[in-house]
Amino acid sequence: MSPSLAAESSSRPGQASVSGLMAEIAGTGTDPARGGYTRPVFSTAERDLRTWFIDQAQRRALAVETDANGIIWAWWDVPGTAPGSARENAIVTGSHLDSVPGGGAFDGPLGIASALVAVDILRARGQVPRRPLAIAVFPEEEGSRFGVACLGSRLLTGAISPERALRLRDPDGNTLADVAAANGQDPERFGPDPGRLASIGQFVELHVEQGRGLIDLARPVAIGSSILGHGRWRLRITGQGNHAGTTLIQDRRDPMVAAAACVLAVRAVALRFRNARATVGRLVPVPGGTNVIASAVDLWFDVRHPEDAVTAAVVENIRQEARLAAAGEGCDMELTEESLSPTTHFDAGLRTALQDVLPEAPVLDTGAGHDAGVLAAHVPTAMLFVRNPTGVSHSPEEHVEDADAETGAAALADVLASLG
């Protein structure tokens, strides 16, 4: 970053606070039934947040564009560059605005609000970028609507084919193609964008910490080292739908009973492998009536482990247990991998650069997935984590103290300044 030109700093809003920006969106996507926030991609709530972000970016005179994959980019261009000229070696920060069902306020939006405030801080310091700087908002990071996490960054990088992505369905049966088209995106244009990817010099994502690392270390901000390998699988168990009153227990082929055994098997298998995590967080009976023996059950499980071979072994063990459980109930089963991300180690050089800027910040790994993990396979990538005093995430109890949020944004500003 270099000292400001007078024209750069005139007629802009003053410096916002992260807590102030978070307060502006606190009423968007609240979920009275589950608690917390439910902001699936392309829902009214997520669309409102995208509109809010675009407004915030435009108030800061950032040049906003939504790319072919629905990723929003808000550019602070190098002063003096001609409008429309190619952006190269850009510094990109950002995160996501979608949430898990009943999620917390900070997972995603903290990174976006902090990025906006970081721009304000740099401007207040009179700094301007020597390289293009962008805030990116990635759609469907959580995969809570279409099942595949980090869908926007996967499409951008080619980690998922547009053909497969566009066929993904939400719980109501709508395809991504239809939902995207209804939201002004051209499904024909979805897919890898090597030119845009090549224009990113470095990517830095700030995120609420989703565990207890910073609590234990009594520090407000950490630098990310790696993301645990993780994947999602869908298990469909098919039996015989029937009447709850007229069907004798011994005559049933009840997939719910097999599914219950599978839930227990997922945990039992995970316990056999050191450091493995396996979770059943979603189970949907078909058709789902109190007096109906289900005809099928869909059960999704998430497995995480530092070694991809161990993740594969955990899944294979679960598959065998599920086959036995289904057969014991006279049911069939089918297991489908929905997504898989290997363990990601962030760029060592960039991490060292961040450590030089933030010498007090500890270096922590994370068990949570992020768009930064997808981008890391293509561009030097780093993460900053901000302390979450509850240590709880993907839950309404997720929290960040105001002072830590501002410290995080200042740390991000320092990092962006050092890179630019």
101 touching Mn ion, by CB under 5 A: no
Q: Does 369 bind ligand GLV (CB under 6 A)?
A: yes
Nearer to ligand GLV, 62 or 136 (CB): 136
Our CB check for Mn ion shows the closer of 221 and 322 to be: 221
Size of interface with ligand GLV, in residues (CB under 6 A): 4
Minimum CB separation of residue 149 from ligand GLV in Å reads 5
Instruction: State yes or no: residue 142 binds ligand GLV (CB under 6 A).
Output: yes
CA nearest neighbour of 234 among 158, 271, 272, 286: 286
Find the binder of Mn ion among 40, 108, 132, 224 (CB under 5 A).
108
- Residue 18 contact partner, candidates Mn ion, ligand GLV, none, CB within 5 to 8 A by sort of partner: none
For the CB of residue 100, give the shortest distance to ligand GLV in the complex, in Å: 7
* Of the candidate residues 77, 107, 193, 365, the single one contacting Mn ion (CB under 5 A): 107
Smallest distance from the beta carbon of 108 to ligand GLV, in angstroms?
9
Does 368 bind ligand GLV (CB under 6 A)? Our answer is: yes
How far apart are CB 162 and Mn ion at their closest, in Å?
Answer: 23
Measured from the CB atom, is 206 or 368 closer to ligand GLV?
Answer: 368
Of 142 and 254, CB closest to ligand GLV: 142
Query: Which entry of ligand GLV, Mn ion, none binds 213, CB below 5 to 8 A by partner kind?
Result: none
Q: Is 46 in the site for ligand GLV (CB under 6 A)?
A: no
| Binding partner of 108, given ligand GLV, Mn ion, none, CB within 5-8 angstroms per partner class | Mn ion
Q: Of the two residues 28 and 393, which places its CB atom closer to ligand GLV in the complex?
A: 393
Q: Does 376 bind ligand GLV (CB under 6 A)?
A: no
Q: Does 111 bind ligand GLV (CB under 6 A)?
A: no
Query: Closest CB to Mn ion among 116 and 294?
Result: 116
Q: Which is nearer to ligand GLV, 162 or 369 (CB)?
A: 369
Within 8 A by CB and 6+ apart from 386, the residues are 106, 110, 114, 206, 207, 208, 209, 214, 220, 221, 400, 404, 405, 407, 408
CB 114, CB 409: distance < 8 Å: yes
- 149 binds, options Mn ion, ligand GLV, none, Cβ within 5 to 8 A by partner type: ligand GLV
Task: Convert the chain into a string of H (helix), E (strand) and C (coil).
Answer: CEECCHHHHCCCCCCCCHHHHHHHCCCCCECCCCCCECCCCCCHHHHHHHHHHHHHHHHCCCEEEECCCCCEEEEECCCCCCCCCCCCCEEEEEEECCCCCCECCCCCHHHHHHHHHHHHHHHHCCEECCCCEEEEEECCCCCCCCCCCCHHHHHHHCCCCHHHHHHCECCCCCEHHHHHHHCCCCHHHCCCCHHHHHCEEEEEEEEECCCCHHHHHCCCEEEEEEECCEEEEEEEEECCCEECCCCCHHHCCCHHHHHHHHHHHHHHHHHHCCCCEEEEEEEEEECCCCCEECCEEEEEEEEECCCHHHHHHHHHHHHHHHHHHHHHCCCEEEEEEEEEECCEECCHHHHHHHHHHCCCCCEEEECCCCHHHHHCCCCCEEEEEECCCCCCCCCCCCCCCHHHHHHHHHHHHHHHHHHC
Amino acid at 414: D
Q: How far is the CB of 301 from ligand GLV (least distance, A)?
A: 12
One character per residue 146-185, x = contact with ligand GLV (rule: CB under 6 A): ---x------------------------------------
In angstroms, give the least distance from the CB of 368 to Mn ion. 6
369 binds, among Mn ion, ligand GLV, none (CB under 5 to 8 A by kind): ligand GLV
Where does this chain bind ligand GLV (CB under 6 A)? 142, 149, 368-369
**Chain contacts with Mn ion (rule: CB under 5 A):** 107-108
